[in-house]
Amino acid sequence: MKTGEFARARLQDIEEFFEQHHDLDKKDDNLTRIREVLRIMDKEFGQDAINISSRAVAVSGYLFVEDLYQSSRTKLIPKFSKFYLKLLEEIKRNTAQLSNYERPSNSYLMEDFQKYILQASVEAYSIKRRHDFLEKTFAHYVNSKTRGRIMGVRDSA
């Protein structure tokens, strides 16, 4: 995200990036930042990282944490990790409802986040929409009036 814009993230794109930047060394600011963000994520998600089950979910989580890191809001990362795991659990519950031919209890989550995990997940517009969704729903989660609640879920505490 050198320009501040999201880019397509197909495996071929990532391979091309590393071919063009194969000379990255430990003094590179980007590599240092990436390592630090991954270290923080490892600490905050711990064993619960196993619940991050797809590349698209991992990429969105990483990009959001990196955004918090770069904007000097690292104190929010522990809250984000709890929020993200709760969000993924909510997706899992709603997906189970759909597979049982039931209406999902959080259609907002399924329409504004999950569909961009499943459809064109590596395209820039999907990555951007997931990021925008996370910004909005995380703000709702940490808001004093709705603290701890996933947006779109009335019975979540």
- Please report, for the chain, the start and end positions of each structural domain, with discontinuous segments joined by +: 11-142
**Single-letter amino acid code for the residue at 15:** E
Task: Please report the pLDDT score of residue 2 as a whole number.
Answer: 47
Tokens (6 digits) for 32 = 């240092």
- Cβ atoms 131, 63 nearer than 8 A: yes
Nearest one of 34, 38, 35 to 2, comparing CA atoms = 34
Nearest one of 95, 94, 91, 77 to 138, comparing CA atoms = 77
Question: Would you give per-residue pLDDT tens digits along the chain (157 residues)?
Answer: 444 565 555 566 666 766 665 565 556 687 788 889 999 999 999 999 999 988 889 999 999 999 999 999 999 999 999 999 999 999 999 999 999 999 988 988 888 898 888 887 778 888 899 999 999 999 999 998 888 999 876 544 3
Task: Please report the pLDDT score of residue 156 as a whole number.
Answer: 41
In whole angstroms, give the CA distance from residue 103 to residue 126: 24
Task: Give pTM, 2 decimals.
Answer: 0.81
Task: Please report the pLDDT score of residue 157 as a whole number.
Answer: 39
In whole angstroms, give the CA distance from residue 153 to residue 127: 23
Task: Please report the pLDDT score of residue 141 as a whole number.
Answer: 95
- Cβ atoms 91, 113 nearer than 8 A: yes
- Residues 93-129 as b/e (b if ≥16 CB within 10 A, e otherwise) read ebeeeeeeeeebbbeebbebbbebbeeebbbeebbeb
Task: Please report the pLDDT score of residue 25 as a whole number.
Answer: 58
Measured in whole angstroms, how far is the alpha carbon of residue 122 from the centre of its chain? 13
Task: Please report the pLDDT score of residue 32 as a whole number.
Answer: 85
Integer-rounded Cα radius of gyration of the chain: 16
